[in-house]
Chain A
């Protein structure tokens, strides 16, 4: 009972003990919980034993323990929907990057609409993903603008995570919205940091109040790192050559300077792993997508 194995699809170390359906920690409770399983004699002999008072006490103890155990495993009750929608759409929060196990910077917001495309208030939305992804809250009713907001922390293994927001139609048919979020490994986090320091100012066309993008000032436009269509076709070796020796190394613009004397070899590897992680459509090296089956 306590020796439950990890299922092979288990992803992430964020909540290892919850998968066994037990309260994590609390060792005292757990050791007692073994008691009912020790009683493994054939049924007939157990029936005989039940006549003695000791057996009665054991039975009562075992029953009460199993009840207290099952209480822990009981899942949180869902709120009762007051309305139903016909479609569920993303408002914001898809395609974000965060370190493994950490919170996405922006919450995920989804909206439930009716058949006419108007937002629906009071519809139930549930979020789900592979074990290890944590939603806070995991479900909720849509607010007055038809939206539900949840904070998401990704699982403990780097890669792409599919998260599913689902709501029910009037006919109890489930409608799903699938979003993808990216969890960065240590190396990719390092790459992101280098990107912010050295690359982002030119390669990211978006300007913020604090950081004005240089993208529009360049005669030859650099590739945003999300431009998977182009970047996925360039091999790691070629990317390394462009980064270390500059654009002319591959007959590209000299506006891309050579960084080989500024960045170390492992820095460039980290940058490339970051570029591969965020490219859209995903690169082949981005690894598998973790989705709930």
Chain B
């Protein structure tokens, strides 16, 4: 062995000429490594592939002209972007390559941003400066952020766009879920604009719970909230029977009676079995509350709690007090104060109480609570942070109960503990945590939610958008959300409006729900007499909608008070109510308007003027529009509906003044009383 090595050494480095020659050769070879490596680089391979692919295409000349060889780079210093993705993804900007299915040569789908202005990694993440496939797309030792899976791509939109966008339904849903499911009660989420994300779920106070429900129901609810109502947003804490028994004992023992939240009604329920359901229907309870029908489908809105098994939950005397005036028990509730009389309450409450499920409480048998159980229950309530969401007398709302999530989208992977078999990426970690929080450790307090896979994707998307980039973005690049205004009407009418919970459905000056029309300019729009009548007894305006304005049994003075306020305050500067007369249009104008209505503009496609032959089902019925709307409003509406009510479906027809005037004349002739064949459905 030694001999052989020595002879080899002699052969190569025996004399100076030989040594010089060999060293030169080694030097040459090592020098050649760099250009060879460059020549065999991946991006060159792909560029060759691209040139081969376009050679036989009809648009080869154009593509060839656009092609630039070598490493390409998009450099945007202010965004911290150095993206060389276009070195391999050569055809991103070639719209004619839409038929190409092979990557990396596909054209980029149409988006509102220019690639040169934003680069690639802003949205897709990955390592922009890398020039090999593995380093650019995957995480490496020096780079943690792999390419963002397409299912979470909208999180990147959310880095700059802080409000909802029409093209990002997943992100919008995720952000709503964070508020709607009360995630932000425990987890603080500071948004990049400095505000804190607010919860929209309004969990009830538990300080007077014994007035409302029984200990048995609390027990069943805590064990499995979704068994009571599949739509419940309350998560499952996976409590043991003993813990549940003690928490329910504590909550009942801790509850103090509230004067007036229970009543003993002397009126007997009406013997008519259909009276209950018809009052429930007439009051449009289903606009907000859902009930599971016989087929197992939920019917109704999701503003209020589901009522499928409400009879198992509430005590009759509490329900009657609640129906009389919900604000006694819960002043800020979104439920309107209906002003039901005793006979109506006596009709509605047995109907609701009959909505029961015999299985729900069948196996719940609780002995009287001992002081030890109550004390243990109190400890558990503090431990699980129940007071983060619910108001509980004697227990303080814990501060920062769960980790803050303001920067969760940039959490380093080294700080995460993954489950066995789970891909080591941040999105997978977040999705896993939402899906099964206790799988990470049985001792964790985060409860089990019952999200669908799509909801988990949406939540993950929203959380990923809360990252370092979104927090350090130059203000010039951020697109702010339109903040929810805190508009509250003033005075006596304002009190009445909050008592009737108008804002649960209607939006005024940027505040309120979106179930019913925006009333910001209602005073310019409608006639006084109609509004008083409508408030007293709301009729059907839009036959195709199943959600309608309920009848609140207002007194004359209340209806007048509300009408006066609306007519005075909610006035649009663009509409001068008195500029056009309510009647007295010439028959010629009316006839011309009629021709335009049925001919040129074909309004009957969506609206009904004559119930005998018009069938349009989308817009409001116009049979009595001349008694409802002001002429000036109709005229302005014809000219530009979106200016008066942004987002309305009515198309802007850019009508000439003359067309708008004669159509207004025709519509103003449609008075109530003249035609009684109103399609009431």
Chain B 40-69, CB-CB to A under 8 Å as 1, else 0, gives 001001000100000000000000000000
* A254 and B134 contacting across the interface, CB-CB below 8 Å: no
B112, B138, B167, B544: the one contacting A17 at CB < 8 Å is: B138
Nearest CB on B from A287, distance (A): 6
**Which residues from 588 to 609 on chain B have a C-beta closer than 8 Å to any C-beta of chain A?**
599-602, 605-606
Q: Given contacts A105-B454, A186-B167, A262-B652, is CB(A214)–CB(B424) below 8 Å?
A: no
The answer on a CB contact under 8 Å between A156 and B149 is yes
Min C-beta distance of B213 to chain A, whole Å: 31
Contact of A193 among B138, B169, B453 (CB under 8 A): B169
CB closest residue in chain B, given A48: B1
Query: What residue in chain A is nearest B413 (Cβ atoms)?
Result: A25
B651 and A258 contacting across the interface, CB-CB below 8 Å: yes
Per a CB cutoff under 8 Å, which of A23, A266, A287 touches B99?
A: A287
Q: Once the chains are docked, how many angstroms separate the CA of A28 from the CA of B42?
A: 24
The complex places the Cα of A155 from the Cα of B134 at a distance, in Å, of 19
Are A261 and B602 interface neighbours, CB within 8 A?
no
Contact A190/B605 with A197-B649, A209-B546, A288-B101 known, Cβ cut-off 8 Å? no
Chain A CB within 8 A of B109 CB: yes
Tell me the minimal C-beta distance from A148 to chain B in angstroms. Answer: 17
Contact of B106 among A99, A101, A157 (CB under 8 A): A157
Nearest chain A CB to B517 CB, angstrom units: 15
Binds B, one of A1-9, A81-89, A171-179: A1-9
Q: Is A238 an interface residue (CB 8 A)?
A: no
Given A10-B103, A136-B453, A187-B109, the answer on whether A23 and B424 have CB atoms closer than 8 Å is yes
- Supposing A2-B134, A189-B167, A193-B167 touch, asked if A13 and B453 sit within 8 A by C-beta, the answer is no
Query: Which of chain B's residues have a CB closer than 8 A to the CB of A273?
Result: 110
Task: Say yes or no: is A255 at the interface (Cβ < 8 Å to chain B).
Answer: yes
Do A254 and B600 touch (CB < 8 A)? yes
Confirm or deny: A36 has a beta carbon within 8 angstroms of a beta carbon on chain B.
Answer: no
Query: Is A155 in contact with B102, judged by CB distance below 8 angstroms?
Result: no
Assess whether A281 is interfacial by the CB under 8 Å rule. no
Summarize B's interface: helix, strand, loop or mixed.
loop
Between A102, A132, A187, A189, the greatest number of chain B beta carbons within 10 A of the residue's beta carbon is seen for A102
Specify which chain B residues have a CB less than 8 angstroms from the CB of A261 in the assembled complex: 640, 651-654
Do B605 and A257 touch across chains, with their CB atoms under 8 A apart? yes
- Chain B: which residue is nearest A260 at the CB level? B654
Across the two chains, which residue of chain B brings its CB closest to A101?
Answer: B150
> Which residue of chain B has the shortest Cβ distance to A207 in the bound complex?
B544
Closest A residue to B137 using CB positions = A16
Instruction: Give the residue name and chain of the B residue nearest to A192 (CB).
Output: B169
Does A42 make an interface contact (CB < 8 A)? no
Check: A115 CB closer than 8 A to any chain B CB.
no
Complex-state Cα separation, A108 to B189, whole angstroms: 36
B146 touches A16 (CB 8 A): yes
Check if B510 is an interface residue, CB within 8 A of chain A: no
Residues 19-43 (chain A) with a chain B CB within 8 angstroms: 20, 23-28, 31
Closest to B101 in A: A288
CA distance A292 to B572 in the complex (A): 60
| A201 contacts chain B at the CB level, 8 A cutoff | yes
Q: Is the CB of A257 within 8 A of B424?
A: no
A3 to B601, CA, bound (A): 64
Among residues 108 to 165 in chain A, which have CB atoms less than 8 Å away from a CB atom of chain B?
132, 136, 151, 153, 155-159
CB of A199 to closest CB in B, whole Å: 10
6 residue pairs, one from A and one from B, having the closest CB atoms: A101-B150, A25-B424, A156-B150, A217-B615, A185-B109, A101-B151
A102-B457, A136-B453 given; 10 more Cβ-contact pairs under 8 Å: A27-B140, A100-B150, A100-B153, A102-B454, A187-B167, A190-B166, A214-B605, A255-B602, A257-B605, A259-B651
* Chain B residues in the interface with A (C-beta under 8 A): 42, 45, 49, 98-104, 106, 109-112, 124, 132-134, 137-141, 146-153, 166-167, 169-170, 299, 413, 423-425, 453-454, 457, 544, 546, 599-602, 605-606, 615-618, 640, 642, 649, 651-654
| Pairs across A and B, CB under 8 Å, 16 listed | A3-B133, A5-B45, A25-B139, A25-B146, A99-B170, A101-B151, A132-B150, A151-B453, A156-B153, A157-B109, A186-B167, A211-B544, A214-B618, A262-B642, A287-B98, A290-B101
